[in-house]
């Protein structure tokens, strides 16, 4: 009986530690880190044009990968996106959207997510549009005995 209880306790502790590790990895994904920065600081409006300084995020479940890239913006919407290759060239992102005619509107420096037929979410992050970090507060001095 003691062996069963010991084994059961060991199995439960291993499962619990693995669940905590997975949660910590999810919280540290590149997309969530950028999302937090955009939410904390805000971003300037994105004008129409081509941007060669964006990050393209691909998310599937709890996994996220972020790549440098460029994109074209027209009427406040992302119309094309390209991933930067190791040789400095760019390759068009050719993912088939699950829903046709859903525009990738840009709000707070981030595009709305593109849902693909593979259930992958793609966002374009305009990192150069993040507002600068606000200055911190100056702490007051402690009272003196004068």
**Which secondary structure element, helix H or strand E, spans residue 9, and what is its range?**
helix 2-27
CA distances from 146 to 20, 139, 142, 143 (A): 54, 20, 12, 9
Q: Are 23 and 15 in contact (CB under 8 A)?
A: no
Phi, psi (5° rounding) for residue 123? -125, 150
**DSSP letter assigned to residue 128:** G
- Report CA-CA distances (Å) from 60 to 64, 72, 124: 6, 24, 15
Residue ranges of domains in the chain: 26-129
User: Using one digit for the tens of pLDDT, what is the confidence trace for 99-133?
Assistant: 988 999 999 999 999 999 999 999 999 999 999 98
Strands 104-107 and 77-84: antiparallel
Q: Indicate the pTM of the whole model.
A: 0.74
> What is the pLDDT tens value at each position of the chain, 146 positions in all?
666 655 545 444 565 556 544 444 455 799 999 999 999 999 999 999 999 999 999 999 889 999 999 999 999 999 999 999 999 999 999 999 999 889 999 999 999 999 999 999 999 999 999 999 888 888 988 888 76
Give me the pLDDT at residue 128, please. 96
Tokens 């507060």 belong to residue: 137
């Amino acid at each position: 009986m003691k062996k069963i209880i010991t084994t059961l306790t060991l199995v439960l502790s291993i499962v619990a530690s693995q669940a905590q590790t997975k949660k910590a990895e999810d919280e540290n994904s590149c997309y969530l880190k950028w999302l937090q920065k955009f939410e904390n600081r805000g971003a300037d409006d994105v004008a129409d044009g081509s941007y060669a300084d964006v990050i393209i995020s691909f998310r599937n479940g709890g996994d996220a990968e972020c790549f440098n890239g460029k994109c074209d913006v027209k009427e406040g919407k992302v119309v094309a996106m390209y991933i930067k290759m190791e040789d400095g060239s760019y390759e068009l992102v050719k993912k088939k959207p699950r829903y046709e005619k859903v525009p990738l509107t840009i709000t707070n420096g981030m595009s709305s997510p593109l849902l693909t037929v593979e259930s992958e979410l793609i966002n374009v992050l305009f990192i150069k549009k993040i507002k600068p970090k606000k200055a911190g507060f100056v702490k007051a001095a402690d009272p003196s005995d004068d």
